[in-house]
Amino acid sequence: MLDRWSDIAASLSPKLPDHVQAVAFHPETGQLDLRPDSPAYATQLRLISAHIVTEANQTADAVRTVRVLPANAAPASRVTEPAPTAAAKPEVPGKTREMASPGFHHALAAHRAVTPAHRVDPGIAEAVERQTRAMRELSRHAFPESADIPDDAPVPIETTRAQRRRQAAATEAAALRRARAARAERTGREAGTAAAIPQPTALGTTA
């Protein structure tokens, strides 16, 4: 799986293999660990993790989850099949960046100062934009009352609460109007019934 990562990443975006490294694969859990070289690519990996799993399983259903490591984090140990035992070689101490000379650190600082910032891959940015539009469309169907709000305008929670209070007040006012109309109609019916009943007349006296 680690050896196939370059082909998997290239099928998703031509620039992805240059900015993301597969550092570990855990066959027992199906977890693939990826390490991006910048926070921007870390965000993009989380957005397209489902596509990565689908593409990685084109030939074998092995990857179940993708873990995105922090940008520029130390790589985890690669999980591979045990290799045949080879003859032991003398251990040679390796040089680290901390052991480098002051001139190296000065040159590295100068290089970082003039190196342009990483640009977001247009292909991945377009995929993120499509996903955002789809989520907005689902939100419009789920909450029709907010359909007249522009896509780029945030809706404060106080505005939503004020709309609900106005709707409740309008409903209460309509109920009061209906109650008054019912009382007036009942009073009118009672008054009409009283007028229709003949009143007894007084009996006259005879001489």
pLDDT in tens, 40-98: 988 988 998 898 889 888 877 788 999 999 886 554 444 444 444 455 555 555 666 66
Query: Residue 128: pLDDT above 90?
Result: no
For residue 132, being part of any structural domain is answered with no
d(C-alpha 139, C-alpha 147), whole Å:
9
For residue 48, report the phi and psi dihedrals to the nearest 5 degrees: -110, 20
For residue 17, being part of any structural domain is answered with yes
In the chain, % of residues over pLDDT 70: 66
d(C-alpha 181, C-alpha 189), whole Å:
12
Q: Of 48, 79, 110, which closes a domain?
A: 79
For residue 101, being part of any structural domain is answered with no
Q: Of 55, 79, 103, which closes a domain?
A: 79
For residue 37, being part of any structural domain is answered with yes
Identify the pLDDT of residue 138: 79
Please name the residues in contact with 39: beta carbons below 8 A apart, sequence gap of 6 or more.
71
Residue pair 39/91 in contact by the 8 Å Cβ criterion? no
| Number of domains making up the chain | 2
Looking at the whole model, is its pTM more than 0.75?
A: no
Average pLDDT over residues 147-154: 50
pLDDT in tens, 91-127: 555 666 666 677 777 777 777 776 555 566 777 878 8
For residue 9, being part of any structural domain is answered with yes
Using 50, 70 and 90 to split pLDDT, how confident is the model at 192?
confident
User: Whose CA is closest to 1, among 66, 80, 67?
Assistant: 80
**Residue 7 belongs to domain with CATH number:** 3.30.300
Q: Of 25, 52, 79, which closes a domain?
A: 79
For residue 7, being part of any structural domain is answered with yes
Residue pair 23/33 in contact by the 8 Å Cβ criterion? yes
Residue 43 lies in domain: 1-79
For residue 140, being part of any structural domain is answered with no
For residue 135, being part of any structural domain is answered with no
Identify the pLDDT of residue 31: 92
User: pLDDT higher for 42 or 137?
Assistant: 42
pLDDT in tens, 17-29: 899 989 999 989 9
Identify the pLDDT of residue 79: 47
User: Whose CA is closest to 23, among 69, 60, 63?
Assistant: 69
